[in-house]
């Protein structure tokens, strides 16, 4: 038996989303059919609304309905610090800590030679422009501890050096609650390397 056509189509769309495999896609599609009709309509509208209304802040490239975005236009924010992240989701993760009150810069990607992504493909020159124009005192690099993140951090570190501002990188080490004996060697090595004097 083939899936009935509208179901097959919906499963296909769900499957195109990240981290949704064929089984989950099927479960989601079947769930949609069981949902009340008005909820399905609301969901469909939410999809279209998110797509049409949300764009990127032309200053920091955060996703937002407004330009400048909520962070850039917030007068209580410390405008002398810029935290550089790879993607909007990283910005959101940092916002959730409630520990950071400066501005952001979303690179919209990381340097990855094997994927053909160079510095010109991400928002590097826009970062330099901001650092150059405004009264920025510190740039915090908060990129993933991956090959691409490291490469991008190194590259940005070099580029930003001439500006004579503080450049920092978030700490890599043991996550809270982890046990030393189960940590992988890379993490342990970075934790040792990044040891802090007491």
Binding status of residue 27 toward a second copy by CB under 8 A: yes
Q: List the 166-169 sheet strands across, edge first.
A: 102-106, 78-85, 138-141, 166-169
Binding mask 106-145 for a second copy (x = CB under 8 A): ----------------------------------------
User: Torsions phi, psi of 61, nearest 5?
Assistant: 65, 20
Could you tell me the smallest distance in angstroms from the CB atom of residue 160 to a second copy? 25
Select 3 or 163, whichever has its Cβ closest to a second copy. 3
Using CB under 8 A, which of 50, 147, 171, 186 touches a second copy? Answer: 50
Distance CA 109, CA 103 (A): 18
Please enumerate, as own/partner, the contacts of 175-182 that have beta carbons within 8 Å and a separation of 24 or more.
none
DSSP code, position 117: B
- Smallest gap from Cβ 60 to a second copy, in A, equals 12
Residue position matching structure tokens 């030679």: 113
d(CA 47, CA 26): 19
Helix locations, 69-146, DSSP H: 88-97, 124-133
Q: Could you tell me the smallest distance in angstroms from the CB atom of residue 3 to a second copy?
A: 7
Q: Which SS3 state, helix, strand or coil, does residue 46 take?
A: helix
49 binding a second copy? (CB under 8 A): yes
Binding a second copy (rule: CB under 8 A), the pick from 60, 61, 69, 142 is 69
In the complex, minimum distance from the CB of residue 153 to a second copy, in angstroms, rounded to a whole number: 22
Residue 81 or 160 with smaller CB distance to a second copy: 81
* 175 scored as a contact of a second copy (CB under 8 A): no
Q: Are 82 and 140 in contact (CB under 8 A)?
A: yes
Contacts with a second copy by CB under 8 A lie at 1-7, 9-10, 12-13, 16-20, 24, 26-33, 35, 37, 39-54, 63-66, 69-71, 74, 87-89, 92, 95
């Amino acid at each position: 038996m083939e899936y009935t056509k509208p179901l097959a189509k919906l499963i296909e769309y769900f499957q195109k989303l990240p981290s949704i495999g064929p089984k989950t896609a099927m479960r989601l599609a079947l769930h949609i059919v069981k949902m009340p009709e008005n909820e399905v309509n609301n969901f469909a509208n939410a999809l279209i609304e998110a797509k049409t209304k949300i764009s990127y802040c032309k200053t920091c490239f955060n996703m937002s309905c407004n330009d400048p975005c909520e962070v850039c236009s917030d007068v209580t924010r410390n405008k002398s610090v810029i935290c550089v992240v790879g993607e909007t989701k990283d910005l959101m993760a940092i916002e959730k800590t409630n520990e950071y009150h400066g501005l952001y810069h979303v690179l919209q990607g990381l340097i990855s030679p094997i994927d053909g992504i160079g510095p010109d493909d991400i928002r590097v020159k826009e970062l330099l422009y901001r650092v150059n124009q405004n009264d920025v005192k510190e740039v915090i690099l908060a990129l993933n501890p991956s090959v691409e993140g490291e490469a991008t951090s190194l590259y940005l570190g070099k580029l930003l050096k001439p500006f004579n501002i503080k450049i920092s990188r978030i700490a890599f080490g043991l996550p809270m609650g982890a046990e030393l004996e189960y940590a992988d060697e890379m993490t342990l090595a970075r934790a040792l390397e990044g040891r802090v004097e007491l």
